[in-house]
Structure 1
Amino acid sequence: MDKPTASPSFLKKLLALVLAFGPGIFAIGYTIGTGSVTSMIVAGSTYGMQLLWVLLLSCIFSGVLIFTYGNFTLVTGETALYAFKKHLKWGKLIAILIIIGISFGQWNSLMGILGISANIIFEIFRIYFPSLEAYRYESVLLIAVVVIATMYRFLLVGKYAFFEKILVIFVTIMGLSFIISLFMVYPLPIEVVQGLIPSIPEVEGGQMMVAAFVGTTMAAATFLSRPLFVKGKGWTIENLGQQKKDAIIAACLVFIISAAVMAVASGALFHQGKPVTKVLEMVNTLEPIAGKFALTLFFFGTLSAGLSSIFPCLLIAPILLADYQSGELDTSSRQFKIITAFASLFALIVPLFGANPIEMQIVSQVFNVFVLPLVILGIILLVNNKNLMKEYKAGIWLNLGLFAALFFSCLISYNGVVALFDYF
């Protein structure tokens, strides 16, 4: 009599464990999208595991910054841009530049993300129903409209807990899909070890790819949105330990999932001499090696990456404005609904014109690194302000991590400038 209840009980516990994930789920949603997946696929198929060290460093510094921004809010009760404006000498100008820079980068990414996601859904159907190819443009556009309309409808629910649960579902599917794919197609262990030794591919586009990696993994939007999501979770200074654990888990999962994508592309395509520049090129290159099931699984992971990024990208502009204005996000406000509606329509540009978003996606990731030094410098000044932080003022180890992140971001920004000059 006890056996029938054992299984549901286990499933309920497993579901409760997954749904218990904190604000770090938004960090994963912002960081791993189709732009990130595209960068990992291009890097893995073109350079093997050579850029794994860039990913590792980016994830370590991301963890430090997610933790620092979260701690600042728990200690002071203030959010990032509001605190910049209030406490820093040039804070108002810095905050405005950050809002413009991040919104520009995220909305550009949003166009590509929706375009790629709609194409992926179409390709999944086309694998099993080849006759749909004759209606590619109409099908992709219709799918894009349905996807963005559904996401906008979810946003109108306006509850933090609901946003979190939707993202948990997408990120769980994404993570499992990529990790299971890795067991089917994987690189040689020696290549993974060699990839941890710093080096930049001495070929055209190598510097651009390094900057894109950092732009997509050390995403400024991730850190700036952290305070509002921490407050939305209802955490207080009593949750400092929980906040730290959440930041570490988020950074580790970003590395594991991103590295899995790179490894699948490296294992399947690098040694075949088949570099790809589009996610959708995986259809013709991965299927003969990994099979239809592995391909579908990988596509579902990529689709979940896209859907988990659309949600936060739609939220970013109203989040930053709310942060700057008052430090409180009102998801039922007219401002929130208008801005997210405009962003939803803006996202349809790529599907509407049938444009190829992949190259623009990588270039837009490069642009993201230019705001990053400002975002890191601002939080360094805040967490070292004894009047604000009191006994929680940043210690020597946290400062070492933050200044290392600042140096790394400046180095990558310079690299990004050189790469963009070469590109244009």
Structure 2
Amino acid sequence: MKSRFWNYIFWLIIAAAFIGPGTVTTAASAGAGHGLQLLWALLFSTLACMVVQEAAARVAIVSGRSLGQAILARYSNVTFVWFIGISIFLGCLAYEAGNMLGAISGLALLNLAIPQWVFTSIIAVSSFLLLYFEKTRLVPQLLGAMVAIMGIGLFYAALSVPADWSGLAFGLFAPQLPEGSTLLVLGLIGTTIVPYNIFLGSGLAEGKELRSVRSGLVFSIALGGLVSMAVLVVGTSISGDFSFERLYEQLVAQHGQIMGYVFAFGLFGAGFTSTITAALAGALTIKSVHKAGAGWTEKTGKFKALWATIIVVGFAFGVSGVKPIPVIIAAQAANGLILPVLTFALCVLCNGKTMGSYTNSFWLNTAMFITLFVTSIIGLINVFKAFHTMFQESFSFSGINQWIIIGLSAAVLLFTYFQVRKERKLNI
């Protein structure tokens, strides 16, 4: 029982990685703008996240290779694997400042008369020290405690919202797209199924027992999904556009100052944990795709240099207040392609001969195909948005854009289906 408990605590790092300021913003905005109607998107993304994360961990454990090396062994294409690795690393670099600033947003709600650069420095130095001194047990415990505190507070606030059980059931199990909600739905899915989390989970699973990894991942992702749903429910009590300040004031008005403190600390925890996990995930991703990465440990100078680079760059942009717009645009476009590419690779790998008796079942393949189709749509939307931003144009998922994106996503799905059929025939 003790071993199982610590296993669950360890894997809370995955929930902490995707519950960041962006998740809080997107989920609360969905609740404020559309009530309970978009809960189904969080239910879908939580289940899809379980499917993808489990597949990545299974490949690493059964094959005995990191995810990047498993992909390289299957396709023998170094460029393909490095494209994935560098794109994810760039994404971690580009969004690290956002993680730090999100953490500061939580502290700012407390009206502390301390300059922003001081908080940014504390967050950066704390993240650096935790990773430098290899506190592999302390980090998951710390992240788990912060997620738990935020989750308990948000669950309490969500339960205090007047119950609409029919609306809750309808929102969860009857997919609907209210007018103007399409990009918000895709945002809810995109903030839950995160490319660097796939490498993070796979890297942490190496050398572990599959059964315990599965149970830990399912527990962590389910808890993260429930916290996201609680944020959405709390968001329904906000009138007008969402902001951290407005949600904070609403919680204080309804539940007292203590709930305001819980939310402020929880928002800080969400940003702080994402700061640590983004840096760690970026390092694990490059370790996975590098041919010499298998020999790297947490004590290796090259490994430390990778996560340190992410923290330093995030700190520099956080202190300066300058947003790395060109890097963010490039990272959005690249990461938009990464998620469906990774899902495609996992579909093929999980049906390969090297998986033996651990190949995908019919139902797992079905779940992965559905996930691939949705992530392809998300990915292509991010690419289209990035290009529109480059030319200073607004993007709308409608008209010709919508048909092109859906058509290309259907083509990706069909291509993957035939690749999986070919892979399974080779196993006979």
- When normalised by structure 1's length, the TM-score is 0.82
- Decide whether aligned partners of structure 1 residues 286 and 349 sit closer, same or farther in structure 2, where only a CA change above 3 A counts: farther
What is the aligned-residue RMSD (CA, Å)? 2.8
Counterpart CA distance in 1 for 2:219 and 2:107 is 30
Counterpart CA distance in 1 for 2:295 and 2:64 is 11
Equivalent pair of 1:212/1:363 in contact (CA under 8 Å): no
Match of 2:185 among 210, 228, 235: 210
TM-superposed CA distance for 1:389, in Å, is 1.2
Counterpart CA distance in 2 for 1:346 and 1:378 is 30
Partner secondary structure for residue 337 of structure 2: coil
Counterpart CA distance in 2 for 1:115 and 1:363 is 21
Greater shift in the superposed pair: 364-373 or 183-192: 364-373
- One-letter code aligned to 2:284: I
Equivalent pair of 1:54/1:198 in contact (CA under 8 Å): yes
The equivalent of 1:166 in structure 2 is 142
TM-superposed CA distance for 1:337, in Å, is 2.6
- Decide whether aligned partners of structure 1 residues 285 and 328 sit closer, same or farther in structure 2, where only a CA change above 3 A counts: farther
Match of 1:140 among 107, 112, 116: 116
Would you say 1:258 and 2:228 are equivalent positions? yes
The equivalent of 1:373 in structure 2 is 340
Match of 2:75 among 88, 99, 104: 88
Match of 2:96 among 110, 116, 119: 110
Would you say 1:249 and 2:219 are equivalent positions? yes
Equivalent pair of 1:119/1:140 in contact (CA under 8 Å): no
- One-letter code aligned to 1:394: N
TM-superposed CA distance for 1:36, in Å, is 1.0
Deviations 1:71-105 (A, max 9, x none): 22221111101111122144x22322212222222
- The ranges of structure 1 where at least 4 consecutive aligned residues each deviate by more than 6 angstroms after the TM superposition are 360-367
The equivalent of 1:101 in structure 2 is 87
Counterpart CA distance in 1 for 2:269 and 2:29 is 19
The equivalent of 2:27 in structure 1 is 40
Match of 2:351 among 384, 402, 410: 384
Partner secondary structure for residue 21 of structure 1: helix
- Decide whether aligned partners of structure 1 residues 83 and 109 sit closer, same or farther in structure 2, where only a CA change above 3 A counts: same
Counterpart CA distance in 1 for 2:331 and 2:150 is 23
Would you say 1:52 and 2:39 are equivalent positions? yes
Deviations 1:370-389 (A, max 9, x none): 31110111111112111x11
Equivalent pair of 1:211/1:366 in contact (CA under 8 Å): no
Greater shift in the superposed pair: 59-68 or 173-182: 173-182
Counterpart CA distance in 1 for 2:332 and 2:248 is 24
Counterpart CA distance in 2 for 1:208 and 1:363 is 20
Alignment of 1:145-156 (within 5 A): 145-156=121-132
- One-letter code aligned to 1:275: D
Partner secondary structure for residue 394 of structure 1: coil
Partner secondary structure for residue 330 of structure 1: coil
Counterpart CA distance in 1 for 2:262 and 2:160 is 11
Equivalent pair of 1:110/1:347 in contact (CA under 8 Å): yes
Counterpart CA distance in 2 for 1:159 and 1:147 is 16
Greater relative contact order (Cα < 8 A, sep 6+): 1
- Decide whether aligned partners of structure 1 residues 22 and 285 sit closer, same or farther in structure 2, where only a CA change above 3 A counts: closer
Match of 2:240 among 274, 285, 294: 274
- Decide whether aligned partners of structure 1 residues 362 and 89 sit closer, same or farther in structure 2, where only a CA change above 3 A counts: closer
Tell me the percent identity: 21
Equivalent pair of 1:383/1:394 in contact (CA under 8 Å): yes
Partner secondary structure for residue 256 of structure 2: helix
- One-letter code aligned to 2:300: S
- One-letter code aligned to 1:336: F
Counterpart CA distance in 2 for 1:39 and 1:225 is 23
Match of 1:335 among 302, 313, 316: 302
TM-superposed CA distance for 1:275, in Å, is 2.0
Partner secondary structure for residue 408 of structure 1: helix
Partner secondary structure for residue 360 of structure 2: coil
Would you say 1:405 and 2:381 are equivalent positions? no
How many residue pairs were aligned? 385
Equivalent pair of 1:35/1:109 in contact (CA under 8 Å): no
Equivalent pair of 2:60/2:70 in contact (CA under 8 Å): no
- Decide whether aligned partners of structure 1 residues 24 and 369 sit closer, same or farther in structure 2, where only a CA change above 3 A counts: farther
Counterpart CA distance in 1 for 2:124 and 2:81 is 29
Alignment of 1:202-241 (within 5 A): 202-203=179-180, 206-231=181-206, 234-235=207-208, 239-241=209-211
- Decide whether aligned partners of structure 1 residues 322 and 161 sit closer, same or farther in structure 2, where only a CA change above 3 A counts: same
Greater shift in the superposed pair: 143-152 or 367-376: 367-376
Greater shift in the superposed pair: 253-262 or 287-296: 287-296
Any unmatched runs of 5+ in structure 1? 1-12, 133-137
Would you say 1:185 and 2:185 are equivalent positions? no
Equivalent pair of 2:39/2:171 in contact (CA under 8 Å): yes
- One-letter code aligned to 1:304: G
Any unmatched runs of 5+ in structure 2? 396-428
